[in-house]
Amino acid sequence: MNGDLQPRPDTVQRRQFIKASAMAAAAAVAGGTGFLLPILATEPAAGVQWEKAPCRFCGTGCHVQVGVQDGKVVAVAGDRNAEVNKGLLCVKGYHVGSALYGKDRLTKPLLREGAQYREISWEEAIKTIADRIEAAPERFAFYGSGQWTIPEGCAAQKFMKGGLSNNHIDPNARLCMASAVTGFLATYGVDEPAGCYDDLDVCDVLIMWGNNPAEMHPVLFSRVIDRRSRGEKITLIDISTRRTRTTEACQHYLEMKGHGDLAIANGIAHLLIRNGTYNRKFVESFCSFKAPDDQNPNLHGKPISFADYQTFLEPYTPEHVEELSGVPADQIRMLGDVFGNPELKITSLWCMGMNQHTRGTAINSLVHGVHLLSGHFGTPGNAPTSLTGQPSACGTVREVGTLSHALPGGRVVADAEHRQQAEDFWNVPAGRINPTPGYHTVKMWESFCTPTDKGGDIGTIWVQVTNPGQTLPNLNKLFNPKGDNKAGLEDKFLIVSDVYPTATTRLADLILPSAMWVEKNGVVGNSERRTQQWFKMVDPPGDARDDCWQTIAVAHELFKRGTDGMKDRDGRFLFEVKDNDNKPVPVWEWEHYYDVNVDEHLFEEYRQFTRLKHKDLAPYSEYVKARGLRWPVVETDGQWKETHFRFSEGFDPYVEEGTGIQFYHSSTHNDRAQIWFHPWIAPAEVPDDDYPFMLCTGRVLEHWHSGSMTRRIPELSRAMPGGYVEIHAEDAAAYGLRNGDKVKMESRRGALVIPVWIDGRGKPPRGTVFIPFFDETLLVNDLTLDAVDPFSKQPDYKKSAVRIRKVQP
Amino acid sequence: MIAGVVATLEDLGGNLQDVIDEIARMPCVETGDVGPNPRRLPITIDSPNPNALEETTRRLQECRGVAFVDVVFVHFEDESGSTTATHSGKPNSS
């Protein structure tokens, strides 16, 4: 097949034309021959217009070409000009376009009246929200997500912290990657990975720590498998509590018990020191040592000497690590040998397994530590890299800082200088930003579900772009009381902006229909520091509107009412946007929202923050041209240049010449990273006689996260229609269970009746079970524990003790 | 629905053509010519609905000698109602 031979629609049937296009696209990508995809050529006869956008789903950040015809998305294709995916998509690519067109899209604002909802106008909806805020601004909270675009996050952040002087804003990313943030901060003094996806193309060893990229980040895994298919030697090591599709492709599978990773990381460090194979020069030049400060627990701990570190590690012999983790001592020695070999290039990947962990900060720090101790850092292929599950967990949550303690650009509300910088950039009066951190996710929802007279001081929550009614842990405590047991909670008010009905809208008092993906402009940031932009391509259905517009419209309603917080230093509206003639545009009126590019305005304001911590972004217009750029993006000789590897001379423009490696945001202010010791500690809850099984929760290939989009796609829903519990065959036999039998799963927090799948996909080890969280009719988070990591405040969804009882039919 | 996918083939000791032949015999599947990288096989899947498309992809993935399947192109047009594309702030020059 030659890409130059394009069948024309006027000479062949339409279907044949589409098929020829599909084959040409596949051939172009498979062959790597350098010719353009035919679908990107101008084809007026076909009537399909193609534009770029990042995929809506995970944090990989694949770029897709979106085909629009007659105002509707009709096709998607991998974008061959995108470095992330080089023209490839995963199977979710089949549905990224059709996710827009589920039959029950929310199209009208709905206000609860008793057990019913009444359709209301947007005007009434906006006034209702403003009434709630005006009555008690300090009792209002905003709950967002890593699916907020960067401009949406900027608007919410400025509205809350720069407008209402209220820091009760937090995202669902608290539930998925907060421990990665604290791990980076504790180690390097600044968040986000030093490496990037390029490491996958050159590493000799890829270690996946509780991570399943074959199903959750398939395009990245495909890059590695492709190398192997070309005959390159690459060793894949899977360290996990259950088998996955990733396991099948790995040469080594190390099956561990929950929290075994803490012992394994310490075991590797123990061997590096005992065998004298740590990288002495790297450590002496670029690292310091830290341990937890038990007297004064804090993220940055206390300094220790190398000798102290060595002493702390002494007990972690391979045999002891085997006892703690369940991984055979020989495999621990294998890992020690791998890290002790300076000739190998080693990349580590992790995601939920290490982050949803009550010692999440500790295990993140320890994995960074083994890379630093062994010197496997700072050169292509040598990197510890966390992955994210949402398209802008990095760009919006971590960089815009939509967390209860943070400000944009790595700033924090508790620091007076940081507050002043933010107030200057936002042009709001000095002292507007509240210095006290707001409530993190678990505390926010606990307060909302606690009666006001018993200290529940959050009265109204506005949820955008997420589904906490399904994804919060311990739902019977943190969400369900609002609906199922209203005693004392009658004054609480839940506002939910979403695209489909969800477990969250079920309990909402006000539901707002939102636009999604290419129904609006957007900018997001992926797992490798890459910022990506797209333009709106189609209209949202009915009266659905952009989340960002919703925030600005409420802000303006408050401004009209004279709320001081909605005025800047000059008395103007906080979100004033001017057109090319320098005239304010009434962007709070929907019919004028797209008269200007509000995204660009918010992005350019935010961009000022990014230079404060060497996370520089280029002007918006540069992202229009590019398939994303990795920050820091610095202008050199008139060109905006991205950064592949941070802290490394020759790659990072902020590293001084002659230093080699420079951790220029070191928490010890000496350009050094911190190598941490953290002891192994048992999970917050472990099986016992009453609750003898360890429950792990997670995702499945067919559904993205809570399934609110993918369960609308009938084909996916049929392929994976409902939740289930995976159980080991011998455990099933002991309980007299057969496939499809129903069991009552009970934890100390709730119960769930669910069908059994013996072994399932993951073949969980004996004494463990797995339940996916995509099914809103079988809420596994009724069972999960709400214990959190002490620093990141991220809950552990992977280790809850449960018991099983067969339900008689 | 029509999709273009790329199958990454494993080296099974010179049996690459056998793997390709087996794939070519699958219903709804058409294989393309192998290019400079003989282990990257372009394929189209022409199926009546997304369910069949996914099922075919799954069967491809499970084929002996197939290491991975990536999606490259999907056309999922259907007959449901449409809306009109509008101005988005995109500059005229791009």
Q: What is the pLDDT of residues A601-638, one digit of tens each?
A: 999 999 999 999 999 999 999 999 999 999 999 999 99
pLDDT of residue A46: 62
Q: pLDDT tens, B34-78? A: 877 788 899 999 988 777 888 898 889 888 888 888 888 888 765
pTM as predicted: 0.91
Q: How far is B23 from chain A (nearest CA, A)?
A: 15
Higher pLDDT: A704 or A544? It is: A544
Q: What pLDDT is recorded for position B14?
A: 67
Q: What is the pLDDT of residues A424-472, one digit of tens each?
A: 999 999 999 999 999 999 999 999 999 999 999 999 999 999 999 999 9
* A419 vs A412: CA distance, rounded Å: 7
Counted residue by residue, chain B has a size of 94
**Overall average pLDDT of the A87-95 stretch:** 83
CB contact under 8 A, B30 and A23: yes
Q: What φ, ψ does residue A225 adopt, rounded to 5°?
A: -60, -40
Judging contacts by C-beta atoms under 8 Å, the chain B residues touching residue A89 are 70-72, 74
Cα(A114)–Cα(A125) distance, rounded to whole angstroms?
17
In this predicted structure, the answer to whether residue A33 has a pLDDT above a threshold of 80 is no
What percent of chain A clears pLDDT 70, i.e. is strictly above it?
96
Q: Which amino acid is present at A695? A: L
* Closest CB from B46, B76, B80 relative to A75: B76
pLDDT band at A256 (very low <50, low <70, confident <90, very high): very high
Give the three-state DSSP class for A399.
Answer: helix
Phi-psi region of A76 (alpha: psi -120 to 50; beta: other; left: phi over 0): beta
Confidence check: pLDDT of A36 > 70: no
Mean pLDDT taken over chain A: 93
Measured CA to CA, the distance from residue A769 to residue A473 in angstroms comes to 17
CB within 8 A of A527, min separation 6: which ones? A59, A60, A61, A193, A385, A386, A387, A388, A393, A394
Q: How far is A507 from chain B (nearest CA, A)?
A: 30
CA distance A745 to A752: 5
CA A574/CA A8 separation, integer angstroms: 52
Residue B90 has pLDDT above 50, yes or no: no
Active-site residue set of A: 92, 176-177, 352, 389-390
End-to-end CA distance of chain A: 57
pLDDT, greater one: A715 or A230: A230
Residue A5 has pLDDT above 60, yes or no: no
pLDDT tier at A483 (50, 70, 90 boundaries)?
low
Output the pLDDT for position A52.
95
Cα atoms found within 13 Å of the Cα of residue A776, Cβ hemisphere only: 21
Check residue B51 and give its pLDDT: 76
Residue B84 pLDDT exceeds 60: no
Q: Which residues of chain B are within 8 Å of residue A90 when distances are taken between CB atoms?
A: 70-71
Residue A53: closest CA among A76, A34, A28: A76
Per-residue confidence (pLDDT) for residue A22, from 0 to 100: 83
Exposed/middle/buried for residue A176 (C-beta within 10 Å: 0-12, 13-18, 19+)? buried
The C-alpha of B55 sits at a distance from chain A's nearest C-alpha, in angstroms, of 9
Return the structure tokens found at A291.
């341990």
pLDDT of residue A563: 97
Segment A525-543, tens digit of pLDDT? 999 999 999 999 999 999 9
The whole-angstrom distance between residue A264's C-alpha and the CA centroid of its chain comes to: 25
Q: Beta A510-513 vs A116-119: how paired, if at all?
A: unpaired
What 8-state DSSP symbol labels residue A540?
P
Q: Identify the band that residue A13 occupies on the pLDDT scale cut at 50, 70 and 90.
A: low
Q: What is the interface pTM, i.e. ipTM, of the complex?
A: 0.85
Lowest mean pLDDT: which of A14-28, A557-571, A688-702, A764-778? Answer: A14-28
**A536 vs B9: CB contact, 8 Å cut-off?**
no
Band of residue B91 on the pLDDT scale cut at 50, 70, 90: very low
- Per-residue pLDDT at A388 exceeds 60: yes
Does the pLDDT value for residue B3 go beyond 70? yes
pLDDT tens-digit profile of A274-291? 999 999 999 999 999 999
